Chain A
Amino acid sequence: MKSYLSVRNLNVRLKSGPVILRSVSLDVAAGQVHGLVGESGAGKSMIGKAVLGTLPRALEISSGEIWLDGTNLLTLSPAERRRRIGVTAALIPQDPLTALNPSKRIGPQITRRLVDILGWTKADAEARARELLDEVHIPNPDRVMRSYPHELSGGMRQRILIASAFAAEPKLIIADEPTTALDVTVQKQILRLINEMQTRHGTALLFVTHDLGVVSKVCDTLSVLYAGKVIEDARMHRFFMRPIHPYSRALLAATPTYTDPTGSLTPVPDAVIATVEEEVRLHDMRAGT
């Protein structure tokens, strides 16, 4: 299967020295969903940002390759890279309220991308936006296009961002904790919508989340991260049935499930942390950093 996104041995560090990502490799094929899981600070969002070229200024890619639809982004000039990313990739962000401009109506916020980056005419872009809002099950698209973000609910805003991400038919979408800010009932609708859209459009999806429950519902494959290093790479079913790495097992044991009446929760044991820390240390020694 051809990978739309292929990250090879990606190393990211703070310009001042500390390492953020340690030789990360992963592949996402067309129509597939790859989950990135890990605790906060593990670097899962940074992978998405590195791909989209939106890393914070203090960070730099020290080595590695990012292949997006057959081109290694890191060999392109910055301007060319931005153009390629703009045409082939899109982001569904975490917080729909900060991602939308509060002082602009919804319509232009969806169409801007199409007009500015892809050179569509305004009329075509508006027709497309209406079609997309319909596709994400927004009733009365015309009214919503004229609304301001604050007039809409959180679930509605997230639907708009999903529509907007799919607008230019990107080959890759990166979803960074897209449902963390939502209620569980809304989360369920949104996750199903993302899955539905992604399957219909055959998009490759990189799904960043801290919630293993969500992973088991939307992902085909996943990587578990710790301190910027991939600890385990797995197909989804195999991971939940037979997690291999002790850290993966510990994460699963620490996740509360309402179906377990004893409700025993085991925090990640210190011994497991010591094991992964040792792996990270060995990696750094080999990498000579």
Chain B
Amino acid sequence: MMYEICDLRLSFPDMAHKPLLGAAPRIEVLKGLSFDVPKGAILGIVGGSGSGKSTLGRAMLRLIEPDSGSIKFDGTDITHLPEEKLRQLRQRFQMIFQDPMSSLNPRRRVGGIIAGPLRLHGLDNLSSRVDEALDMVGLPRTFALRYPNELSGGQRQRVGIARAIALRPDFILADEIVSGLDVSSQAQVLNLLGELVRELGLTLAFISHDLSVIRRLCNRVLVLHHGVIVEEAETSALFDAPQADYTRDLLAAIPLPDPYQSWK
């Protein structure tokens, strides 16, 4: 198993209701989640806004520390692992962010952006690794000299992917990485990600609010609603016979580009 997650709970302080003196009340965001991510799986995580899907993703990468429960990454319990120990593991799990414009440093060239994490983890042969990463995401090597603002949205997102795969991780978390893109670049990025995952034998968690995109890419789906897993199933099973009411509502609400779809 890539991930074994058991009774994961996480809360944030509710600053809007903090009394003048004393601690703020807590808002529970993840309410006891348990699930496994097998190696090589492409897991889709869907849910509405505020369902906790991004928080779950950040907890899986230990960007935030959960209150209780356990997260095992490839057999190692990382739930409360101190940062020094985590750092060695971080090379093995990487993240691709939603908005490439705010996650790529506008003052650094693409090459420097991709090399950043490589340098941080003390790797050598930086330029050949950067070239290789650019090759894999289908960008010309000359792009290493460009700045993010010279690229289109789809190209920027490819840079985000290149930065994540350059470290040769075992696991990648992609958080809404196509929601800011036009359908055409979205199709390109999804096709690319699918190919890379198969080629490199990666395990992927793909957070999205868009079930159509999930069906295209993922082989397992987790449906979150108000911090609870309401359904977990194989992709085809989920779409052919959704079990939870919330999943059915979600599917029924998607407007398909088909004038004859019943949408009442």
Contact = CB atoms under 8 A, between A and B. Distances in A.
Contacts, number: 106
Contacts of B258: 216, 240, 257
Contact of A240 (B210, B251, B259): B259
B198 to A, nearest CB: 14
B108 interface: no
Contact of A188 (B209, B239, B255): B255
Interface residues of A, number: 38
A251 B182 CA distance: 10
Band of interface residues on B: 35 or more
Given A258-B215, A265-B216, A267-B191, A217 B255 contact: yes
Given A216-B261, A258-B239, A261-B215, A40 B153 contact: yes
Given A40-B153, A258-B251, A265-B191, A236 B259 contact: yes
Contact of B187 (A186, A188, A254): A254
A186 B182 CA distance: 22
Nearest to A260: B215
Contact of B253 (A187, A216, A252): A187
B243 interface: no
Interface string A236-267: 11001100000000111011111111010111
Contacts of B253: 184-185, 187-188
Contacts of A185: 48, 249-250, 253
B127 interface: no
Contact of B210 (A214, A237, A256): A256
A39 B263 CA distance: 25
A138 interface: no
A145 B40 CA distance: 53
Contacts of B209: 183-184
A37 to B, nearest CB: 10
Interface string B129-154: 00000000000000000000000010
B125 interface: no
A213 interface: yes
Contacts of A187: 253, 255
Nearest to B188: A267
A212 interface: yes
B interface secondary structure, majority:
helix
B214 interface: yes
Interface in B201-244: 209-217, 236, 239
B215 A256 contact: yes
B1 interface: no
A237 B212 contact: no
A91 to B, nearest CB: 22
A25 to B, nearest CB: 24
A256 B184 contact: no
B256 interface: yes
A254 B216 contact: no
Nearest to A261: B236
A191 interface: yes
A197 interface: no
Interface in B159-196: 182-188, 190-191
A255 B209 CA distance: 15
A216 B215 contact: no
Contacts of A210: 182-183
Contacts of A40: 153, 182
Nearest to B216: A263
16 contacts: A39-B184, A40-B182, A154-B49, A187-B253, A188-B255, A216-B259, A256-B183, A256-B190, A256-B210, A257-B256, A257-B257, A258-B214, A258-B239, A258-B256, A263-B216, A263-B217
Q: Which 7 A-B pairs have the closest CB atoms?
A: A213-B255, A263-B216, A256-B212, A39-B182, A265-B187, A212-B257, A268-B184
Interface of B: 48-49, 153, 182-188, 190-191, 209-217, 236, 239, 249-259, 261, 263
Given A252-B257, A255-B257, 13 more contacts: A184-B250, A185-B249, A188-B253, A210-B182, A213-B255, A237-B259, A254-B186, A256-B213, A257-B257, A259-B239, A267-B184, A267-B191, A268-B187
